[in-house]
Amino acid sequence: MSVLSAYAVPHPPLILPEVGKGQEKLIRSTVSAYREAAGHLALIKPQTVVLLSPHATMYADYFHISPGSGAKGDMKAFGAKGPETKVDYDQEFVNVLTGLASEAGLPAGTLGEREKNLDHGSIVPLRFFQEAYDDFQVVRIGVSGLSLAEHYRLGQCIAAAAEELHRSVAIIASGDLSHRLKSDGPYGFAAEGPEFDHRLMAALAAGDFLELLRFDADFCEAAGECGLRSFVIMAGAFDGRQVKARRLSYEGPFGVGYGLCLFEGGQADPGRSFLAIYEEELRAALAAIRQKEDVYVRVARYAIEQYVRKQKRLRGAEDLPAALAAALTPEMTEGRAGVFVSLKKDGQLRGCIGTIGPTQPALLNEILHNAVSACAEDPRFEPVAEEELTQLVINVDVLGEAESIESMEQLDVRRYGVIVSHSLRRGLLLPDLAGVDSPAKQVEIALQKAGIKEGQPYKLERFEVVRHR
């Protein structure tokens, strides 16, 4: 047996009458589509339902699979006294899936459960599907902060587990779309919100799962999306197979996008091996980026490669290859400035360390030092491994001199970075960052980084940067 069908569904709590108290009538199309999807599941009669929820236990670097024999949950957190939802877990499937993920090098398993009860991202779809058919066991999986490609690989492991166990399986991929569709919505409006929803629904309706892998992380953050990772895991379960896709509904009256799509798996189709296609695209894109890197970035990259491969810290121009040393600019050898070195992998931050002002004899030394710190000493990340070196996109930001300002009105988030300070505490945020669309947001994040508490006085400084790519 295999993955027979899948359903991309939203999870607005107010769609349940005991929570919505009448507001559910404003999303009638979503309710109707949910019932159509549930009726389809009842015809398929799967033995196991893999339930993917962005509100289950989530880790930055680990896929959590719910352990134990089962779970239950309710909507009391949303002020409702409605019925309790219960599921039995398919423990055999969980064990096989965990083993297959380990063989594939994916960090996934049942460790680290923080909340046993079902989350609302699980309860909402279960309420609809169990009303139509409930003779199935569940495998509940949370998403992670890992790349979209890693989520897709987990989907491939789900399909392999279904084959190994000869289980008939359906997947429920729970997730809302953008939360930034309306200015009076819960998270306000961003132009990326409607664009994200249009692009995602078009891809799902066409069964174009390659397009899901192409979503940029900064764009997704700006759109305030919720369900993309769930949908990508689902897509991975159909890798290399034909898929019949059907759009059931889309609406967003409350400022959050709710979309439903139904998918049926078909015959093998090597032309739909989307992960392999995406990885080849990525290799070509990274090669093109490396061809265009300026000398600042090439120096940072060489320093990182030497440290990761040989644990060697470069001291200066004498440690560089002759061609690279000859390309150094006078600013690099004679000037001094603060420098931030930022690393990205698969569109996501992989490390970022910098200095507000010069701490080294020359700008070159500042770059060499901070490049190694970014790859090996950023406390938010594990040190960069050798196999990751070819996947890194590197930026080098050279900071201009900071100047004091009186208020946020003198900031421009695209042009200026900001420094906040109180006593010995200082926090810095670079300019032109995804998701930072106002001076207030920029200062708020800088205050958090500095550990300056609400109500404490602080000084403001601004600075410009030259960003090298």
Specify the range with the lowest mean pLDDT, choosing from 193-197, 333-337, 365-369, 424-428.
424-428
Spatial contact of 230 and 173, defined as CB atoms under 8 Å apart: yes
Q: What pLDDT was estimated at residue 75?
A: 95
Both tokens assigned to 459: 């000084």
Q: What pLDDT was estimated at residue 348?
A: 87
- Number of CB atoms found within 10 A of residue 422's CB: 16
* pLDDT tens per residue, range 215-237: 999 899 999 999 999 999 999 99
DSSP character string of 325-360: HHT--HHHHH----EEEEEEETTEEEEEEE-SS--S
Q: What pLDDT was estimated at residue 181?
A: 97
CA distance 441 to 413: 9
Element (H, E) at 85: strand 85-88
- Whether domain 400-469 has CATH 3.30.1490.20: the reply is no
CA distance 38 to 311: 56
Specify the range with the lowest mean pLDDT, choosing from 79-83, 284-288, 403-407.
79-83
Q: What pLDDT was estimated at residue 281?
A: 96
- Radius of gyration of the chain from its Cα atoms, rounded to whole angstroms: 25
* pLDDT tens per residue, range 370-399: 999 999 999 999 999 999 999 999 999 999
Query: For the chain, how long is the longest CA-to-CA vector?
Result: 73
pLDDT band of residue 347 (cuts 50, 70, 90) is confident
**Based on the number of CB atoms within 10 Å of its own CB, is 318 exposed (0-12), middle (13-18) or buried (19 or more)?**
exposed
pLDDT band of residue 177 (cuts 50, 70, 90) is very high
CA distance 351 to 99: 30
Report the amino acid identity of residue 142. G
Tell me the average pLDDT of the chain: 96
Correct CATH for 3-273 of 3.40.50.1000, 3.40.830.10, 3.40.630.10, 3.40.190.10:
3.40.830.10
> Is 30's pLDDT higher than 90?
yes
* pLDDT tens per residue, range 126-172: 999 999 999 999 999 999 999 999 999 999 999 999 999 999 999 99
Spatial contact of 261 and 233, defined as CB atoms under 8 Å apart: no
Spatial contact of 74 and 34, defined as CB atoms under 8 Å apart: no
Q: What pLDDT was estimated at residue 376?
A: 97
Distances in Å between the alpha carbon of 291 and those of 297, 298, 393, 404, 469?
A: 11, 10, 12, 39, 11
Both tokens assigned to 152: 């897709």
Helical H runs in 104-141?
Answer: 120-132
Closest C-alpha to 241, from 168, 156, 165: 156
Q: How far out from the chain centre does Cα 314 lie?
A: 34
Q: What's 31-76 look like in SS3?
A: HHHHHHHHHHHHHHCCCEEEEEECCCCCECCCEEECCCCEEEECCH
Find the mean pLDDT for residues 31-42.
98
Distances in Å between the alpha carbon of 328 and those of 97, 133, 371, 393?
A: 51, 68, 16, 20
CA distance 65 to 113: 8
> Is 437's pLDDT higher than 90?
no
Top-confidence residue, 82 or 462: 462
What architecture (CATH level 2) is domain 293-396? 2-Layer Sandwich (3.30)
> Is 435's pLDDT higher than 80?
no
Using alpha carbons only, give the angle 260, 237, 57 rounded to the nearest 5 degrees: 75
CA distance 174 to 192: 21
CA distance 97 to 224: 30
Place of tokens 């059907």: 246
Find the mean pLDDT for residues 315-336.
97
pLDDT band of residue 433 (cuts 50, 70, 90) is confident
Parallel/antiparallel/unpaired status of strands 403-405 and 70-73: unpaired
Q: Where exactly are the structural domains of the chain?
A: 3-273, 293-396, 400-469
Spatial contact of 274 and 231, defined as CB atoms under 8 Å apart: no
CA distance 107 to 160: 16
Q: What pLDDT was estimated at residue 186?
A: 86
Distances in Å between the alpha carbon of 324 and those of 319, 338, 396, 423?
A: 10, 22, 16, 42
Q: What pLDDT was estimated at residue 49?
A: 98
Q: What pLDDT was estimated at residue 346?
A: 87
